[in-house]
Amino acid sequence: MGIQIAPSILSADFARLADEAAAVSNADWLHVDVMDNHFVPNLTLGMPVVESLAKATDTPLDCHLMIEDPDRWAPGYVEAGASSVTFHVEACRAPIRTAREIRAKGARAAMALKPATPIEPYEDLLSELDMILIMTVEPGFGGQKFLDVCVPKIRRTRELLDKHGLDLWIEIDGGVSADTIERCAEAGADVFVAGSAVYAADDPNAMVEQLRGLAEQSAGR
Quick one: three-class SS letters along 60-129? Answer: CEEEEEECCCHHHHHHHHHHHCCCEEEEECCCCCCHHHHHHHHHHCCCEEEEEECCCCCCHHHHHHHHHC
Which residue range(s) make up the domain with 25?
4-218
pLDDT digits (tens, 9 = 90+) for 61-90: 999 999 999 999 999 999 999 999 999 999
Domain count, the chain: 1
- Find out whether 175 is annotated in a ligand binding site: yes
Is 36 among the catalytic positions?
A: no
CATH number of 59's domain: 3.20.20.70
Spot the catalytic one: 36, 62, 130, 173.
173
- Find out whether 84 is annotated in a ligand binding site: no
Is 33 among the catalytic positions?
A: yes
pLDDT digits (tens, 9 = 90+) for 130-157: 999 999 999 877 778 999 999 999 999 9
Spot the catalytic one: 28, 33, 62, 190.
33
